Amino acid sequence: MTAADVATTSQNVANGSELALDLRNVHSYYGHIHALKGVSLTVRHGEIVTLIGANGAGKTTTLRTISGIVHPQQGEVRLNGQRIDHVPPHRIVEMGVCQSPEGRRIFPRMTVLENLEMGAFARRDSEALRREDLERVLTLFPRLRERLKQKGGTLSGGEQQMLAIGRALMSQPKVLLLDEPSMGLAPNLVETIFETVVAINRAGVAVLLVEQNALMALNVAARGYVLETGRIVLEDEAKALQQNEKVQKAYLGIE
Give the footprint of Mg ion on this chain (CB under 5 A): 59-60, 102
Q: How many angstroms separate the CA atoms of 65 and 87, rounded?
A: 10
Instruction: Kindly list the strands in the beta sheet with 19-30, ordered across the sheet, starting from the edge strand earlier in the chain.
Output: 33-44, 19-30, 74-79, 82-83
Q: Would you count residue 17 as binding ligand ATP (CB under 6 A)?
A: no
Q: Would you count residue 61 as binding ligand ATP (CB under 6 A)?
A: yes
Q: Taking the complex as a whole, how short is the minimal distance between the CB of residue 21 and ligand ATP, in angstroms?
A: 17
What distance separates the 2 farthest-apart alpha carbons in the chain?
54
Interacting residues with ligand ATP between 78 and 117 (CB under 6 A): 102
- Nearest to 23, CA basis, from 97, 119, 105: 97
Residue 57 or 218 with smaller CB distance to ligand ATP:
57
Q: How many angstroms separate the CA atoms of 49 and 238, rounded?
A: 8
Residue 13 or 35 with smaller CB distance to ligand ATP:
35
Contacts of 213 (CB under 8 A, 6+ apart): 182, 190
Range in contact with ligand ATP (rule: CB under 6 A) among 28-36, 106-114, 138-146, 200-208: 28-36
- Residue showing the smallest CB distance to Mg ion in the complex: 60
Q: Taking the complex as a whole, how short is the minimal distance between the CB of residue 183 and Mg ion, in angstroms?
A: 9
Residue 194 or 251 with smaller CB distance to ligand ATP:
251
- Nearest to 213, CA basis, from 178, 169, 245: 178
Range in contact with ligand ATP (rule: CB under 6 A) among 40-48, 52-60, 148-156, 198-206: 52-60
Q: Would you count residue 50 as binding ligand ATP (CB under 6 A)?
A: no
DSSP string for 54-79: -TTSSHHHHHHHHHTSS--SEEEEEE
Q: Would you count residue 60 as binding ligand ATP (CB under 6 A)?
A: yes
Q: Would you count residue 250 as binding ligand ATP (CB under 6 A)?
A: no
End-to-end CA gap in the chain = 28
- Nearest to 6, CA basis, from 149, 218, 235: 218
Residue 4 or 33 with smaller CB distance to ligand ATP:
33
Positions touching ligand ATP (CB under 6 A) are 30, 33, 35, 53, 55-61, 102
